[in-house]
Amino acid sequence: MNDSRIASKLDASTGVGTRLDPWFDRYADRALGMKQSETRSLFAVANRPEVVSLAGGMPNIEGLPLDFLAEMTAKLIRERGPQLLQYGGGQGEEELREMIVEVMRPEGIRAHPDDITITTGSQQALDIITQIFINPGDVIVAEAPSYVGALGVFRSYQANVVHVPLDKDGLIPDALEETLTKLEREGREVKFLYTVPNFHNPAGVSMSPERRPQIVEICERHHVLILEDNPYGMLGFNDQTMTPLQTLNPDGVIYLGSFSKTFAPGYRVGWALANHAVTQRLILANENAVLSPTKMGQLSIAEYLRSYDWMAQIKEYRSMYRERRDAMTAALDKYLPQASWNVPEGGFYTWVKVPEGIDAKAMLPRATTNLVAYVSGTAFYADGQGGDHMRLSFCYPTPERIEEGVRRLSTVIKSELETVEMFGNPERHTDTGVETPNSNLR
């Protein structure tokens, strides 16, 4: 191994691979590019009962009909045990794929079960899609900010992520056009656009109806595939549904769905809807990765969808999350008037711009010491931006805990601002690594 490779291994702040690791010099470059996500590294602290965690994106599944599920599962095992507990096919079970066609119908998708591949959550769909499209150094265009779990996958396949900004109406078409044109001029081929059009994680916004055909048209013209990730689309607080990009160009869009937020993440079942050719490759990649997705999970979900009023369950989720969103925005109004945020109309997240002078990443240890956790905006960019934002999740804590969490956060921010006013903020850096002058911190 040459010196520069050793140096870069030593320099990599990966959290893995140190001189104490006997296999330190054997790891592939892609492993050295992996780092613990800012959300995951918080889990240990955030899960302590005294901490109000506004950090994780865990759904609140307390309202699930556990007795019903217990009986359903017992009956399934009794009646179809040998089938449930056996290997299955790499594409996933046909009876579930047929039900998924029905699940996507309320959003306007007309699909065929043959075009669906079942995956281990939509996270694994992100993984195999990246695997089949991305060579090291290839370009993926993604919203700024983007889902941290997708960025982690893209990084592990050594993709180059180029961000395009979004605003309150989602991804900005002009900015996308400009970026794709610039990349074309530079001779850099874009493998796909990654977007979460509905109730975005972390930004909480949705792509407006006017922008959807524009985004699809721009990508079509530049011959860029769209990866539409939609785990929250059914969780609109006003029972609204939005046109999937997939319906505007079925051949040009791979659509990802998941049962994690609308039912339960523990089953680990998601899916990818793609055209025939892409589906064939996804099935091969799926077989390589897991042989077959969980039969137990798939057949349990198929039975749940057949025998329970799943839409009523989703409606219950909507009103429960809506109440929590209201608690979050009321608390922000009350305790953090100097910050700014969007009012999400669905999903799990509020994206808060912190008062000027605060660095959300640097403040996090102080916040957890004060028993409140959030995710710094920096987790959601591939390039270190985002210190001026934080993601506050309202999905898991009760309304009372949300209010208490925001109150604690306001105390931390207040003392942080006092410190900054007195001493400046030595931890705050611009993207170039140059310290921000104190005069800019107020």
Ligand X SMILES: Cc1ncc(COP(=O)(O)O)c(C=O)c1O
Residues that bind ligand X (CB under 6 A): 57, 121-123, 147, 149, 196, 201, 229, 231, 258, 260, 265, 270
Task: Return d(Cα 397, Cα 421) in angstroms, integer.
Answer: 33
Provide, rounded to whole angstroms, the least separation between the CB of residue 205 and ligand X. 13
Cβ nearer to ligand X, comparing 335 with 349: 349
412: Cβ contacts below 8 Å, ≥ 6 apart? 363, 366, 367, 370, 372
Report the DSSP pairing between strands 270-273 and 253-258. Answer: antiparallel
Provide, rounded to whole angstroms, the least separation between the CB of residue 362 and ligand X. 25
Contact present, 57 and 395 (Cβ < 8 Å): yes
Provide, rounded to whole angstroms, the least separation between the CB of residue 229 and ligand X. 5
Place of tokens 């799926």: 286
Cβ nearer to ligand X, comparing 201 with 279: 201
3-state helix, strand, coil in the chain (%, to 5): 50, 15, 40
Task: Return d(Cα 353, Cα 337) in angstroms, integer.
Answer: 11
- Closest chain position to ligand X (CB): 121
Q: Name the residue among 42, 59, 85 with its Cα closest to residue 395.
A: 59
5: Cβ contacts below 8 Å, ≥ 6 apart? none
Strand partners, 271: 118, 257
Cβ nearer to ligand X, comparing 149 with 405: 149
Provide, rounded to whole angstroms, the least separation between the CB of residue 383 and ligand X. 19
Residue 326, CB-side half-sphere exposure with 13 Å CA sphere: 8
Provide, rounded to whole angstroms, the least separation between the CB of residue 141 and ligand X. 16
Cβ nearer to ligand X, comparing 121 with 252: 121
Cβ nearer to ligand X, comparing 160 with 201: 201
Contact present, 412 and 406 (Cβ < 8 Å): no
Provide, rounded to whole angstroms, the least separation between the CB of residue 423 and ligand X. 37
26: phi then psi, degrees, rounded to nearest 5: -105, -15
Cβ nearer to ligand X, comparing 33 with 121: 121
Cβ nearer to ligand X, comparing 117 with 201: 201
Provide, rounded to whole angstroms, the least separation between the CB of residue 123 and ligand X. 3
